[in-house]
Chain A
Amino acid sequence: MTLIHLDDDYLIWRSFDFQNYWRNEILSIQKKIFFSIKKTGTTIAGIIFKEGLILASDTRATNEEISCDLNCEKIHYLAPNICCCGAGTSADTESVTKSVSNHLELQRLSTGRESRVQSSVSIIQRMLFQFNGLISAALIIGGYDFLGAHIYSIHPHGSTENLPFIAMGSGSLASTAILEKFFNNNMDINSAKNIIKEAVLAGIYNDIGSGGNVDFCIIKKKTLEFERNEKKQNFKKTSGYFFHKKDSIRIRI
């Protein structure tokens, strides 16, 4: 691998490259080809309690008006002490969180210290701002580092907020209503878990972009617990249907 190859790649990465965006615009105008992107029309929320913080999310991924994944994972791993919930375009949240989690690991190996929440927020914010909001990833980052428990929200254009409770996604209005009413400082773990579960359920039932089950991620000083599908929806049992096999294909001409 020559040095020139590295430099050129680096230069191309550092400049704003919107080629694919323009290509998509031209395709949709001239050739009428529209790309349907898988969005997570979502409810995600985060809350800080006395010993740490809890992140929660629903599990529905929609492709325009059909839910294409009834049980997808929206809580992503960033570091042993940091987790991230993602709303917006699925591909964008996946790729952003993967790239940042790799970046943080390299940082940990190079500095020998545990990752700080603020550093992951800065990295993501810089990347999202550079792409001008075209990467449609709205994230809630929560972690417990040596400064304590923090949750940050990042919007697609790169603005961040540090708050004691946050909700994002299409169901965020329903969730925020519940969180605003019931939040207190210094709650214990059970009341915090109840409140955030009610907040995400409000999004699940009142927003049609959100649905499925509730996932939790509880981060305390030394522990990170991932509770998947904490609330399972009732599935109707059927007696089953028999689909007859097709031995040959008959074509009527």
Chain B
Amino acid sequence: AHSAEMMAMNSTFGADASFNAGMPNASMQGGYGRPAARMPTSQVEHPKEQRFSPYENNGGTCLALAGADFCIVAADSRLSAGYSILSRTTTKVGQLTSKCCIASSGCNADQVTLHKLLKFKLQMYQHQHGKELATPGIGQMLATTLYGRRFFPYYTFNVVGGLDENGEGCVFSYDAIGCFERLKYTVSGTGQALIEPLLDNLVDYKNTDKKPTVARSLEETLELIKDIFASAGERDIYTGDFVDIHIITKDGTRYEQFALKKD
């Protein structure tokens, strides 16, 4: 359809060897070396398919960060549609087991359903095996669940964080159809491009020469995450309102809420 439109434009000016990329023929002069304005006066229409789209991006940012013996999973709580705020207090973080949390941004409907589905599967595992599924196993299970819908994906950008069997922090990041990787930290959602470089520098000390000798404690990491979300909330219009922070340690999961700007 596009080439047909270009051909139509060609015939308006006359086929010419110097006709380049559909631009007006530069050799037609009018006034002081300016090409004459001989474009068609009506807009060129080509057929447009109108269709219902089952997907909608409701915005939001999710973050997971692993420490030596803890893991923090955080997400903002704003639900948006277009330029409106639908809710300031939605939950994007789901607690799957006592040692694992999942946070998803993207389409809210898909996120809610996916979290429900994972909880069903984990309950079934618990009944069949008499114990909770460990975090690396949950990571694998989510990947297979997402790939099961390869041709009508869940429009969610997930991060899974928790403690593995050895008690170390463990973070998995996913794309929409289930490609996953175990990492030390990850971000997903509308604020990803704003936060990821910051984490690269401050958590992984990439592109620096001096690395501090002492690793960050849990409290320092918590302060870091609050500052990061405050900065992302300033610049990203879809991030704001509150941050739900789940802190997973060997003693269980602690919940904290941090207020962001509401504009």
Residues of chain B within 8 A of A9, CB atoms compared: 31
CA distance A65 to B190 in the complex (A): 8
Q: Compute how far the CA of A100 lies from the CA of B19 in the bound complex, rounded to whole angstroms.
A: 39
Kindly state the separation between the CA atoms of A12 and B190 in the bound complex, as whole angstroms. 44
The count of chain B contact residues (Cβ–Cβ below 8 Å) is 41
Q: Are B208 and A243 in contact (CB under 8 A)?
A: yes
Which residue of chain B is the closest to A174 with respect to CB atoms?
B84
Residues of B within 8 A of A14 (CB): none
Q: Contacts of B83 on A, CB cut-off 8 Å? A: 41, 170, 207-209
Choose from B37, B205, B226 the contact partner of A19 (Cβ within 8 Å): B37
Name the CB-closest residue of B to A18: B39
Report if A236-B230 is in contact (Cβ < 8 Å); known contacts: A62-B237, A206-B84, A208-B238. yes
Interface range on chain A: under 10, 10 to 19, 20 to 34, or 35 or more? 35 or more
Residue pair B35, A205 in contact (C-beta under 8 Å)? no
A207 partner residues in chain B, CB cutoff 8 A: 83-84
Q: Chain A interface mostly helix, strand, loop or mixed? A: loop
* B40 nearest CB neighbor, chain A only: A22
| A230-253 contact mask (Cβ, 8 Å, vs B): 1 or 0 | 000110101101011111100000
Give the residue among A16, A41, A205 with the most B Cβ atoms within 10 A. Answer: A205
Q: Select from chain B the residue with minimum beta-carbon distance to A234.
A: B261
8 Å CB contacts to B: which residues of A200-244? 204-212, 233-234, 236, 238-239, 241, 243-244
Q: Is the CB of B2 within 8 A of A18?
A: no
CB contact under 8 A between A246 and B237, given known A26-B23, A170-B83, A205-B263: no
Which B residues lie within 8 Å of A209 (CB)? 83, 237
Contact B261 A233 (CB under 8 A): yes
Cβ contacts under 8 Å, B8 to chain A: none
A residues in contact with B188, CB < 8 Å = none
Q: Report if A29 contacts B (CB, 8 A).
A: yes
Give complex CA distance A15, B158 in Å: 54
B263: which of A15, A65, A210 is its contact (CB, 8 Å)? A210
Q: A244–B235 Cα gap in the complex (Å)?
A: 24
- Asked if B256 lies at the interface with its beta carbon under 8 angstroms from chain A, I say no
Nearest chain A CB to B208 CB, angstrom units: 4
- B261's nearest neighbour on chain A, judged by CB, is A233
CB pair A247–B263 under 8 Å, yes or no, is no
Contact assessment for B234 and A70 in the assembled complex, using a CB-CB cutoff below 8 Å = yes
A211 to chain B, nearest CB (A): 4
Is A40 positioned at the interface, with any CB of B under 8 Å from its CB? no
Give 19 CB contacts A-B under 8 Å: A5-B32, A16-B37, A29-B2, A29-B5, A65-B238, A66-B236, A66-B237, A67-B235, A67-B237, A206-B84, A208-B83, A208-B237, A209-B237, A236-B227, A239-B223, A243-B208, A244-B209, A246-B208, A248-B209
- Shortest 7 CB-CB distances between A and B: which pairs? A211-B263, A244-B208, A208-B237, A244-B210, A8-B31, A204-B263, A22-B39
